[in-house]
């Protein structure tokens, strides 16, 4: 099957004869595939088909030649048919289908395939990578971005807040909802002195923006990403360069906002122009500003607390999608901070009593 060629699916229904007045009627559906490499679509030893069968234990799903035969109740068969149609669309678009892709489609919403699953995919990345929210709070972030023009995404490292924000921006650009993506962050070193960085502006910023580039490279083909950057459809710039600009028809992402000052984040927030969306991400427990300098992110959250039309989503250790140890590490540090805070309050109380 060539990309762009429409796959023909012939569907035949056979009602199985059963006991009269039987409440549940079993149905067999035969899907005939034409102009498609069967071995690649079915997977090694029919692994892709076996995954579908295991996800729907009440049905029988088998492949014979260029046919997929499904036996079961009509509602289940319709769900399987919708899933197979999506897998065919995926194969037609990307030219291959791995067991991991099938697993991703089945895992959306954490259970058997549902009609709404296609809408849960934020964007299709490179090589068929399915990018979607993987936790309850990540889904809240996606919903908040659809409902609000300004969203704060707060949480510790590894919760996917930046990755999901970049995916939403890429989706908006691909769907022509905006004309450009603008990504910025304060150039604050994370507890270490990096010294003088050689090169032009882009090269100086690259070390700070590596996580952003990693996300973009998952979602945009290399040639397309280069083109977007050359035409400034995707612009990456330091926060200081936002001053004096009006950012319209754009999806704007401010990353590591906990390292902004109150003046910087106010300046950034007032750059919003017509038809713009903004997501601000930050981790209030990892402020790298000089000692005694207050984070602009905390100040903005306080000042804008009662302003309507602003979404705030708080992610936690339960949303961590990195190595399983990261959750334990974050929990340990949170516990340590709570103990320090408790001891500090006790010391202050004793001092006041004296």
Please report where in the chains the tokens 């089945």 appear, as a residue: 106
Distance CA 157, CA 147 (A): 25
Maximum distance among all alpha carbons in the chain?
A: 89
Q: Average pLDDT, stretch 180-192?
A: 72
CB atoms within 10 A of CB 27: 19
Question: What's residue 339's pLDDT?
Answer: 83
Distance CA 168, CA 253 (A): 10
Question: Model pTM?
Answer: 0.62
Question: What's residue 125's pLDDT?
Answer: 80
Tokens (6 digits) for 217: 């490279």
Distance CA 271, CA 286 (A): 25
206-230 pLDDT, tens per residue?
677 778 888 899 899 888 899 999 9
Strand 9-15 and strand 27-33: the pairing is: antiparallel
Please report where in the chains the tokens 């923006």 appear, as a residue: 209
What DSSP assignment string belongs to 34-58? -SS-HHHHH-GGGHHHHHHHHH-TT
CB atoms within 10 A of CB 259: 25
Cβ proximity of 282 and 217 under 8 Å: no
Q: Which of 86, 173, 172 is nearest to 130 (CA)?
A: 86
Whether residue 292 has pLDDT greater than 70: yes
Tokens (6 digits) for 108: 């959306």
87-145 pLDDT, tens per residue?
888 887 777 788 888 887 887 544 444 444 444 778 878 776 778 888 888 989 999 99
Please report where in the chains the tokens 């050689």 appear, as a residue: 198
HSE at residue 298, side-chain half, CA atoms within 13 A, is: 10
What DSSP assignment string belongs to 222-287? HHHHHHHHHTTSEEEEEGGGGTT--B-SEEEEE-SGGGS-HHHHHHHHTTB-TT-EEEEEE-TT--
Strand 130-132 and strand 121-124: the pairing is: antiparallel
Q: Which residue has the higher pLDDT, 172 or 76?
A: 172
Cβ proximity of 261 and 293 under 8 Å: yes
Whether residue 293 has pLDDT greater than 90: no
Cβ proximity of 297 and 265 under 8 Å: yes
Distance CA 253, CA 312 (A): 15
**pLDDT confidence bin for 286, thresholds 50/70/90:** confident
Average pLDDT, the chain: 80
**pLDDT confidence bin for 310, thresholds 50/70/90:** very high
Tokens (6 digits) for 314: 């708080």
Q: Which of helix, strand or coil describes residue 168?
A: helix
Distance CA 217, CA 206 (A): 14
Question: What's residue 302's pLDDT?
Answer: 93
Sheet containing 310-314: order of strands: 234-238, 180-185, 250-254, 277-282, 150-154, 310-314
Question: What's residue 9's pLDDT?
Answer: 40
Question: What's residue 4's pLDDT?
Answer: 35
Q: Average pLDDT, stretch 163-190?
A: 87
Residue 205, Cβ density class (10 Å: 0-12 exposed, 13-18 middle, ≥19 buried): buried
Question: What's residue 5's pLDDT?
Answer: 35
Strands (E) across the chain are located at 9-15, 27-33, 60-64, 67-72, 121-124, 130-132, 150-154, 180-185, 234-238, 250-254, 277-282, 310-314
Question: What's residue 136's pLDDT?
Answer: 83
């Amino acid at each position: 099957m060539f990309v762009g060629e429409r796959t023909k699916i012939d569907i035949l229904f056979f009602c199985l004869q059963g006991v009269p007045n039987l409440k549940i009627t079993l149905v067999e559906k035969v899907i005939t595939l034409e102009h498609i490499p069967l071995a690649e679509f079915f997977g090694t030893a029919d692994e892709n088909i076996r995954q579908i069968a295991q996800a729907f234990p009440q049905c029988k799903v088998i492949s014979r030649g260029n046919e997929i035969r499904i036996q079961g109740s009509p509602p289940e068969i319709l769900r399987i048919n919708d899933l197979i149609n999506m897998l065919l669309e995926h194969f037609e678009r990307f030219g291959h289908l791995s067991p991991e892709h099938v697993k991703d489609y089945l895992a959306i919403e954490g259970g058997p395939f549902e009609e709404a699953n296609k809408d849960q995919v934020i964007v299709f990345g490179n090589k068929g990578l399915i990018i979607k929210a993987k936790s309850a709070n990540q889904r809240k972030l996606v919903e908040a971005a659809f409902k609000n023009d300004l969203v704060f995404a707060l949480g510790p490292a590894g919760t996917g807040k930046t990755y999901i924000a970049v995916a939403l921006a890429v989706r908006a650009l691909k769907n022509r909802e905006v004309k450009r993506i603008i990504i910025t962050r304060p150039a604050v070193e994370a507890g270490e002195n990096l010294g003088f960085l050689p090169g032009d502006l882009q090269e100086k910023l690259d070390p700070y923006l590596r996580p952003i580039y990693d996300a973009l490279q998952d979602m945009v083909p290399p040639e397309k990403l280069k083109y977007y950057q050359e035409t400034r459809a995707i612009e990456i710039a330091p926060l200081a360069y936002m001053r004096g600009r009006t950012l319209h028809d754009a999806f704007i992402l401010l990353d590591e906002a906990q390292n902004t000052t109150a003046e910087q984040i106010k300046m950034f927030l007032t750059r919003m122009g017509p038809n713009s969306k903004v997501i601000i991400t930050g981790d209030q427990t990892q402020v790298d500003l000089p000692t005694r300098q207050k984070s602009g992110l905390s100040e903005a959250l306080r000042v804008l607390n009662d302003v309507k039309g602003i979404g705030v989503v708080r992610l936690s250790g339960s949303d961590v999608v990195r190595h399983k140890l990261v959750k334990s590490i974050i929990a340990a540090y949170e516990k340590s901070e709570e103990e320090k805070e408790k001891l500090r309050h006790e010391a202050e109380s004793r001092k006041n009593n004296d």
